[in-house]
Amino acid sequence: MNRPLTRAVLALGSNLGERNDTLAAAVADLVDRPEVRLTDVSPVIQTKAVGGPAGQPNFLNMVMGIETSLDPYELLEHCQKVEAKHLRVREVHWGPRTLDVDIVVYGDVVSDDPVLTIPHPRASQRAFVLYPWALMDPGAELGGESVSELAIKASDFADIEMFDGYESQPAGAV
């Protein structure tokens, strides 16, 4: 059965290991199946960790736009498989991680299912998602509001830095 394509936005983050390489590989892995097509990729930004244990290494964050014939739960499963491929472990809530992939929006779907809440429940408050999304798609809206304006209002906006692509050492290295 051929399903119609749905546009989705995925947020990717990494604060352990070779963060930039992990993000690049994850983008390739996420679109390495016929049901997922890449439409856009944001620049990479660097941010402090938001929430979770203190003292975490900085994150690299980005978003990507896709078109997919996977349903939201199939897409979630695919994202989790890509996280696992990149050695994601879930030991500490909001703890350090090699890769985090979140579904931010999936078409016009609104769901409060505890397994998959769409739009992502905290996306509208997180500049580390909103800012790269606004760079990728300046006209984007979330919940009827401009993603660019939401980014500026987010409490973590001041901590955003553009990432120049160079890492002197892996995040978390001593």
Which residues are catalytically annotated? 88, 97, 100, 102
Torsional class of 107: left (φ above 0), alpha (ψ -120 to 50), beta (otherwise): left
CA–CA distance, 110 with 113 (Å, rounded to integer):
9
Yes or no: say if 36 and 68 are a contact pair by the CB < 8 Å rule: yes
How many residues are given for the chain? 174
Give the SS3 label for residue 132: helix
